[in-house]
């Protein structure tokens, strides 16, 4: 599975200072508007076959309508439910094990070796196996999400525990804290941002895994299943596009939530890191 | 880095620290082998004990893969491996080149970045598999669809990492370029590109993993050959041993590709590793 | 070869320049105010001022990297807009001056590519300038393999190979230790004499400014303006020990120090 889906979009501008917020907002909207206009013209003028690419306005309208469609929303919830359950299980499994494993130097090195071994197998390759083991229902989706999500969380937890500043630990021990207390009051808070990053990465992977399994296995409620059915039916292509946009919006939403959480809970870590 | 030593001695590796480092490397290799061996032993024991048809032993899996590749049983493996790798590399190359080119332009121009930022963020947020129905609708079932989908899916990590890399280029490098008469094209290709190279390579590695996933998914849904097709076919025909053999094959493929990319990276970024090591002393 | 006749041609003319950062916005910062001075052909002029006074801004304006909000700069009677071809600049932070992905040789070659020179000529220039700074054997090394002092010498070699009419230097020896600094100061003087170049040298180190220069321009604290220009009549060639023990040297550096500490003139 991928080592890390997280891409740092550093806003450190080394050259000219970035434009004021108003200008940035205006330009961003302009960019989006231009794309919209271009697509609209291409399709309305029949330069592109409207059966394959419906006009942008129609797509946007469809997106709006399915978001309130009582037939579509359960699908979205189906996806999110499987994703959420899988994530929670993954965290419950991976974090405690990661804390344990991360406390020992030897285990840290050994675990890295193990990870290198297992990483090349993408979780999607196990979808057929999961279908045979769990059938095509939500259980299968959850199982795959757990499998795919456990690794990034585990790795990041181990790494976070390993990365704790030894001086901080020694200071705590110097004040008379026992081993367990040191772990609880020094190592865990120090490792927390890394664990959080691991969960964030796993969340993105988990979403991808859920949608992939829905596309391939069908059967249960989910965005992937819904989209696959619409694409196969041959009519109303704008529904497929609308589905993709909704998937993107979900992705954006999740990302925004994680960024918010990062800033709120781990603002100290970002500031301590400073400019990398 | 402040306060260079009086005698302008070159920083050389040598002496007791080098010997210690070599011993450390040997230890790490031994540990890796030990972990690998231990893992295989445990796996073998567990699967033999459970006797489940869903989980054949590692020995059986390797045997099966060996048979298919070298034993001439069933369809020749190259008939599937070659198309898979071709689609994968085709899509990955196209997407990477596009991502780097656009990333350079966007990273270098604040205004362009402002215009495209929302679109880029949205594009990145779409889970790549969600593109599959879209591409099915647009391009049908053939190889073009797969290559296009892979390219479109992997362009985002490369693009974002390139933009990040270009934006974090040290302004003094650019000032140096301006002082010594570098044209805009020069500054882009001879300063920003090499300076951003480490981050670009990080993006390339991420996108390689995504490319493998997209290749597999596209072949599972809409193909008559390829590794993904083999996987889904073995599921439909309940051939467990075959399925595990293909999983192993996929793992090997991923490992080989990743190692190859790392080797290229190490060669191209020789200067970077040296510079980072130097900064730590 | 110090500036002999006072009638030497004016090479760099800084004419009443001022610079305001963030003009019109809320956080205006006046960095330099009404600075004027001239640098003649063949002179070694140093600029000294308290930390944070705006010396770097002044140098950036003089080099064309920054357009001053007031006044203008001319190089050889041609107004400067953007960095002129005949000017080179050596920065303070040696760890960021050289491109880490290029060898020393390629780093020195970098400015020469745009000069339209034939390959053998470029190679010859590179060899000469590396020789000049005493780094003949380091051509194929990467910057990270060199110490800080050596990296700064490569930066100087690069400027020399470019053969600019005037060489600007922004506190180039501030980040190295004292003994390396002494070596580099003498190297700079030797190179300046050998090439008969023109140098504008910015520093915060009063001793260094007097030791090196024919003339010292003293800046006030922020916003910087020219407080005084002092002729340094010390004999050349300068010597770290001999020159610095001269009465004239001591008097000059005291004068400069007094000017820097004095309250700003109205």
pLDDT digits (tens, 9 = 90+) for A10-43: 323 233 445 677 777 888 888 888 888 888 887 7
B147 and B30 part of one domain: no
**Is B2 a member of any domain?**
no
A74 and A168, same structural domain? yes
pLDDT of res. A272: 54
Residue B8 lies in a domain: no
What pLDDT is recorded for position B20?
Answer: 62
| Torsions phi, psi for C216 (to 5 deg) | -115, 130
Give the residue on A whose Cα is nearest the Cα of B257: A120
Q: Where does residue B122 rank: exposed (0-12), middle (13-18), buried (19+ CB within 10 A)?
A: middle
Do B140 and B25 fall into the same domain? no
Q: Which chains touch B (3 or more CB pairs under 8 A)?
A: A, C
Nearest Cα residue to C57 out of C79, C81, C29, C85: C29
Instruction: Over range A262-272, report the average pLDDT.
Output: 72
Structural domain harbouring B253: 57-280
Q: What is the pTM of this model?
A: 0.82
Buried b (16+ CB within 10 A) or exposed e, B201-234: bbbbbbbbbbbbbbbbbbbbbbbebbbbbbbbbb
**CA-CA distance, B244 to B249, in Å (whole number)?**
8
Same domain, yes or no: A211 and A78:
yes
CB A28 within 8 A of CB A18: no
Say yes or no: A138 and A40 in one domain.
no
Chains near C, with 3+ CB pairs < 8 A? B
- Answer whether residue B5 is part of any domain: no
Low-confidence ranges of chain C (pLDDT < 70): 1-7, 263-266
Strand partners for C200: C45, C168
Instruction: Name the one residue in this structure whose structure tokens are 């129609």.
Output: A58
User: A223–B130: do the CB atoms touch at under 8 Å?
Assistant: yes
| CATH code of the domain containing A119 | 1.10.3720.10
SS3 B217: helix
* Same-domain check for residues B69 and B45: no
Looking at the structure, tell me whether residues A148 and A264 fall in a common domain: yes
**pLDDT computed for residue A189 by the predictor:** 83
Does any domain span residue B242? yes
- Tokens encoding B153: 């899916």
Identify the bridge partners of residue A46 per DSSP, sorted by sequence position. none
> What is the distance between the alpha carbons of residues C47 and C202, in angstroms, rounded to a whole number?
5
Q: Checking phi first, is residue A234 left (phi over 0); if not, alpha (psi -120 to 50) or beta?
A: left
Going residue by residue through chain B, which has 281 residues, state the pLDDT in tens, using 9 for 90 and above. 333 343 344 344 444 556 666 666 777 777 778 888 888 888 888 888 887 778 888 888 888 888 887 776 556 777 888 899 999 999 999 999 999 999 999 998 888 888 888 888 888 888 888 888 888 888 888 889 999 999 999 999 999 999 989 988 988 999 999 999 888 888 899 999 999 999 999 899 889 988 999 999 999 888 888 889 988 888 888 888 888 989 989 988 998 998 899 999 989 988 887 766 655 43
pLDDT tens figures, A119-144: 778 888 888 888 888 877 788 889 99
More confident of the two residues A83 and A238: A83
pLDDT at C3: 47
> What domain range includes position A33?
21-45+54-66
* A78 and A110 housed in the same domain: yes
Residue A38 shares a structural domain with residue A170: no
> Over 70: is that where the pLDDT of A173 sits?
yes
| Residue B172 falls in which region: left (phi positive, over 0), alpha (psi -120 to 50) or beta | alpha
Chain B residue numbers touching C99 (CB-CB < 8 A): 173, 176, 191, 194-195
Query: Same domain, yes or no, for B182 and B211?
Result: yes
B196 to chain C, minimum CA–CA distance in Å?
11
Closest CB to B254: pick one of A114, A121, A231: A121
The pLDDT, as a whole number, for residue B21 is 61
Considering only CB atoms, which chain B residues are within 8 Å of C102? 194, 271
> Is residue A5 one of the residues assigned to a domain?
no
Which of A26, A59, A125 to mutate to test binding with chain B, by most B CBs within 10 Å of its CB? A125
From the list B34, B136, B209, the residue facing A2 with the nearest CB is B209
ipTM score assigned to the predicted complex: 0.85
Residues B33 and B103 in one domain: no
Quick check: is B9 in a domain?
no
Question: Is residue B142 included in any domain, yes or no?
Answer: yes
**Closest residue in chain B to residue A25, using alpha carbons only:** B114
Tally A–B CB contacts below 8 A.
Answer: 199
Domain holding B247: CATH number?
1.10.3720.10
- Confidence at A8, pLDDT banded by 50, 70, 90: very low
Judge whether A10 lies within some domain. no
pLDDT for B141 equals 85
Query: Which residues does chain B have within 8 Å of residue A80's beta carbon, measured at their own beta carbons?
Result: none
Q: Contact, C8 vs C42, CB < 8 A?
A: yes
Please indicate, yes or no, if residue A258 is contained in any of the structural domains: yes
Domain total of chain A? 2
User: How confident is the model at residue A3, as a pLDDT?
Assistant: 32
Pair (B40, B141) in one structural domain: no
* Contact across the interface for B110 and A8, Cβ inside 8 Å: no
> What does the pLDDT read at residue A266?
76
> Does C144 contact B277 at a Cβ distance shorter than 8 Å?
yes
pLDDT of amino acid B193? 94
Chain B residues with CB under 8 Å of A121 CB are: 247, 250-251, 254
- Nearest C-alpha of chain C: how many angstroms from B181? 7
Residue of C nearest to B198 (CA): C101
Name the closest residue on chain B to residue C106, using Cα atoms: B190
Compute the half-sphere exposure of residue A13: CA atoms within 13 Å on the CB side of its CA: 13
CA distance C125 to B108: 32
| Residue A239 belongs to a domain | yes
One domain for residues A216 and A97: yes
CB nearest to B129's CB, from A52, A211, A255: A211
Comparing A68-77, A88-97, B18-27, C122-131, the range with the smallest average pLDDT is B18-27
Are residues B39 and A114, on separate chains, in Cβ contact within 8 Å? yes
A62 & A73 share domain:
no
Burial C89-110 (b: 16+ CB within 10 A, else e): bbbbbbbbbbbbbbbbbbbbbb
Residue A18's pLDDT is what? 53
B120 and B167 belong to one structural domain: yes
Do A34 and A152 share a domain, yes or no?
A: no
- Search chain B and give the residue with CA nearest C100: B271
Give which of C147, C160, C176 to mutate to test B binding, by max B Cβ within 10 Å: C147
Residue A248 covered by a domain: yes
pLDDT for res B104: 93
| Statement to judge: residues B186 and B79 lie in one domain | yes
In a domain, B215, yes or no: yes
Helix axes C119-132, C148-162, angle to 10 degrees: 140
> Sheet containing C198-203: which strands, arranged edge to edge?
C87-90, C166-170, C198-203, C44-48, C215-219, C226-231
Residue A7, in any domain of the structure: no
Question: Which residues in chain B have Cβ-Cβ distances shorter than 8 Å to C97?
Answer: 172, 176
Are residues A85 and A62 located together in one domain of the fold?
no
Looking at the 3D structure of chain B, how many domains does it have?
2
**Does B64 lie in the same domain as B160?**
yes
pLDDT at residue B156, rounded to an integer: 92
Residues B46 and B62 in one domain: no
For A216-244, the pLDDT digits (tens) are: 776 677 888 788 777 777 667 788 888 88
Chain C residue with minimum CA distance to B2 = C175
Q: Which residues of chain B lie closer than 8 angstroms to C162, CB-CB? A: 180
User: Does A1 reside within a domain?
Assistant: no
Q: Is C175 on the interface with B (CB under 8 A)?
A: yes
Give the separation between CA C216 and CA C205, rounded to whole angstroms. 12
Section A180-209 average pLDDT: 84
**CB contact, 8 Å: A211 with chain B?**
yes
Q: Does the CB of A38 have a partner CB in chain B at under 8 Å?
A: no
* A104 and A62 together in one domain: no
Residue A14 lies in a domain: no
* Cβ within 8 Å, pair B8-C150: yes
Q: Which one of B105, B127, B253 makes the best mutation probe of the A interface by having the most chain A beta carbons within 10 Å?
A: B127
Is it true that the peptide bond before C223 is cis, omega within 30 degrees of 0?
Answer: yes
Q: Which 3 state secondary structure label does DSSP give C18?
A: strand
Q: Are residues B137 and B45 in the same domain?
A: no
Residues A190 and A155 in one domain: yes
Q: Are residues B234 and B271 in the same domain?
A: yes
Q: Which of A2, A125, A243 has its CB closest to that of B247?
A: A125
Cα separation of C247 and C188, whole Å? 24
From chain C, the residues in CB contact with B180 under 8 A are 88, 110-111, 114, 158, 162
């Amino acid at each position: 599975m991928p080592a890390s889906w997280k891409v740092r979009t550093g806003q450190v501008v080394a050259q000219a200072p970035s434009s004021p917020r108003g200008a940035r907002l205006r330009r961003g909207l302009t960019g989006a508007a231009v794309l919209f206009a271009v697509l609209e013209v291409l399709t309305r003028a029949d330069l592109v076959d409207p059966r394959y690419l419906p006009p942008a306005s129609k797509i946007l309208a469809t997106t709006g309508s399915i978001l309130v469609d009582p037939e579509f929303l359960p699908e979205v919830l189906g996806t999110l439910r499987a994703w959420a359950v899988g994530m929670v299980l993954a965290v419950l499994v991976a974090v405690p094990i990661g804390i344990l494993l991360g406390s020992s130097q030897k285990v840290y090195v050994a675990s890295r070796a193990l990870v290198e071994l297992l990483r090349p197998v993408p979780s999607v390759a196990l979808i057929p196996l999961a279908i045979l083991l769990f059938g095509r229902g939500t259980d299968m989706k959850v199982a795959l999400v757990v499998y795919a999500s456990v690794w990034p969380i585990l790795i990041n937890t181990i790494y976070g525990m390993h990365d704790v500043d030894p001086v901080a630990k020694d200071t705590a021990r110097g004040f008379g804290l026992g081993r367990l207390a040191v772990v609880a009051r020094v190592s865990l808070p120090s490792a927390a941002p890394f664990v959080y990053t691991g969960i964030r990465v796993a969340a993105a992977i988990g979403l991808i895994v859920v949608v992939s399994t829905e596309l391939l296995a069908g059967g249960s409620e989910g965005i992937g299943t819904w989209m696959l059915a619409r694409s196969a039916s041959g009519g109303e292509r704008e529904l497929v596009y609308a589905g993709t946009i909704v998937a993107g919006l979900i992705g954006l939403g999740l990302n925004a939530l994680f960024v918010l959480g990062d800033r709120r809970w781990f603002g100290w870590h970002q500031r301590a890191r400073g400019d990398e | 880095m402040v306060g260079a030593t009086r005698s302008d001695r070159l920083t050389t590796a040598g002496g007791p620290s080098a010997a210690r480092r070599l011993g450390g490397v040997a230890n790490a290799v031994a540990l890796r082998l030990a972990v690998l061996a231990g893992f295989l032993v445990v796996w073998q024991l567990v699967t033999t004990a459970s006797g489940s048809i869903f989980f054949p032993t590692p020995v059986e899996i390797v045997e099966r893969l060996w048979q298919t590749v070298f034993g001439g049983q069933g369809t020749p493996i190259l008939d599937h491996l070659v198309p898979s790798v071709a689609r994968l590399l085709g899509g990955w190359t196209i997407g990477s080149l596009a991502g780097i080119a656009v990333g350079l332009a966007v990273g270098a121009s604040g205004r362009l970045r402002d215009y495209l930022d929302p679109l880029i963020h949205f594009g990145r947020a779409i889970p790549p598999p969600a593109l599959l129905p879209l591409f099915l609708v647009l391009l049908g079932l053939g190889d073009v669809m797969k290559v296009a989908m892979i390219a479109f899916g992997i362009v985002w990590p490369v693009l974002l990492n390139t933009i990040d890399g270009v934006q974090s280029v040290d302004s003094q490098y650019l000032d140096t370029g301006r002082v010594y008469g570098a044209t805009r094209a020069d500054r882009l290709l001879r300063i920003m590109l090499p300076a951003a190279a480490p981050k670009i390579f990080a993006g390339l590695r991420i996108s390689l993993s995504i490319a493998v996933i997209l290749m597999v998914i596209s072949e599972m849904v809409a193909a008559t050959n390829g590794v993904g097709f083999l996987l889904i076919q073995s599921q439909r025909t309940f051939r467990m041993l075959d399925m595990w053999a293909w999983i192993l094959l996929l793992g090997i493929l991923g490992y080989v590709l990743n190692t190859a990319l790392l080797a290229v990276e190490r060669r191209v970024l020789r200067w970077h590793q040296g510079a980072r090591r130097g900064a730590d002393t | 070869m110090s500036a002999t006749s006072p009638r030497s041609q004016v090479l760099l003319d800084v004419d009443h320049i001022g610079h305001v950062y963030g003009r019109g916005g809320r956080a205006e910062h006046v960095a330099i105010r009404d600075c004027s001075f001239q640098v003649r052909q063949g002179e070694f002029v140093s600029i000294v001022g308290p930390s944070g006074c705006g010396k770097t801004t002044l140098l950036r304006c003089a080099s064309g990297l920054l357009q001053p909000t007031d006044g203008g700069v001319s190089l050889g009677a041609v107004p400067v807009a953007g960095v002129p071809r005949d000017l080179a600049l050596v920065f303070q932070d040696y760890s960021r001056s050289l491109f880490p992905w290029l060898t020393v040789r390629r780093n020195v070659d970098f400015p020469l590519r745009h000069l339209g020179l034939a390959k053998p000529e470029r190679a010859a220039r590179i060899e000469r300038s590396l020789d000049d700074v005493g780094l003949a054997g380091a051509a194929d090394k990467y910057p990270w393999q060199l110490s800080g002092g050596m990296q700064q010498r490569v930066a100087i070699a690069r400027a020399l190979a470019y053969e600019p009419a005037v060489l600007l230097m922004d506190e180039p020896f501030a980040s190295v230790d004292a003994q390396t600094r002494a070596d580099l100061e003498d190297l700079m003087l030797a190179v300046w004499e050998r090439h008969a170049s023109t140098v504008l040298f910015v520093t915060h180190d009063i001793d260094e400014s007097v030791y090196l220069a024919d003339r010292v321009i003293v800046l006030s604290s922020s916003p910087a303006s020219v407080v005084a220009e002092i002729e340094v009549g010390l004999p050349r060639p300068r010597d770290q020990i001999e020159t610095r023990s001269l009465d004239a040297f001591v008097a000059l550096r005291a004068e400069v120090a007094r000017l820097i500490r004095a309250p700003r003139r109205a």
